[in-house]
Amino acid sequence: MTVRGYLLFVAEMRRVPRHRRRRHVDEIMGRTGVADVAHRLAGRLSRGYKQRVGLAAALVGEPPVLVLDEPTAGMDPRQIIEMRQLIRSLAGRHTVLLSSHILPEVASTCQRVLIINKGRLVAQDTPDNLSARLGGRRHLRLEVRGDREALEAALAEVPGIVEVRWPGGPGQEGTAVAELDLGPGGADGEAAGDVREAIFFALARRGLPILEMRSLDRSLEDVFLELVTHEDLEPDART
């Protein structure tokens, strides 16, 4: 079947009224980016286009809820980016439930995350709030032009720094690199912002130029592993 023929068939099965089927299918093909292959055989399309046609078929009849299981499986990087953008564009018109074990995809696509371990819901929140709530401390990577002793003395003036580590990572020649554990911050990062400002002025007073200062936020993979590991270590309380 051609792409258009297949979608018209789906529209008939979903009981879309005959007088609006073609207009409805044309609109969905435009939204999902398959209008340019409308007259090609669906079975001969690339993997990326087949995934788009599958999503178009799911949209026929405007269901209030879409359940997508690994929608970018087998796609190349360009197709993955396009599919993520397409899924995000559905927000506001549909509730989209995305099932995936590719956690960077979840973090970049979804507004809310539910983590399930062995059939049990162990957490649900926005990706940022999960990282902030479970992370406890916040972390910064800092690289300055100068030596370690001078940086250490400057950081000693800043309240709110819980621990300083010296990873000896790939800094530039003549620079010092430190990783800082800060006190707990809110989900909006306000506390961490105040500490960054204090760090800036402490280093400026000592003439230490900042080459890099960035947040080392916990990834969704870190949060997932912590939650699942914690669950697995706890005695099973279920009866």
> Of 215, 211, 212, 203, whose CA–CA distance to 151 is shortest?
203
Q: What are the structural domains, with CATH classification, of the chain?
A: 3-111 (3.40.50.300), 135-215 (3.30.70.3100)
Task: Give the pLDDT score at 216.
Answer: 74
- Give the pair of three-digit tokens for residue 67: 């359940």
Looking at the predicted structure, is the pLDDT value of residue 136 above 60? no
Looking at the predicted structure, is the pLDDT value of residue 231 above 70? no
Contact status, residue 210 vs residue 144, Cβ threshold 8 Å: yes
- What's the rounded mean pLDDT across residues 68-81? 85
Contact status, residue 9 vs residue 1, Cβ threshold 8 Å: yes
Task: Give the pLDDT score at 9.
Answer: 97
Report angle CA 171, 175, 177 to the nearest 5 degrees. 60
Of residues 239 and 25, more confidence is placed in 25
Of residues 180 and 155, more confidence is placed in 155
The band of 184, judged by pLDDT with boundaries at 50, 70 and 90, is: low
Three-state SS at 237 = coil
Contact status, residue 187 vs residue 133, Cβ threshold 8 Å: yes
Q: At what angle do helices 3-13 and 18-32 cross, to 10 degrees?
A: 130
Task: Give the pLDDT score at 230.
Answer: 64
Task: Give the pLDDT score at 239.
Answer: 45
Of the ranges 50-54, 70-74, 225-229, the best mean pLDDT one: 50-54
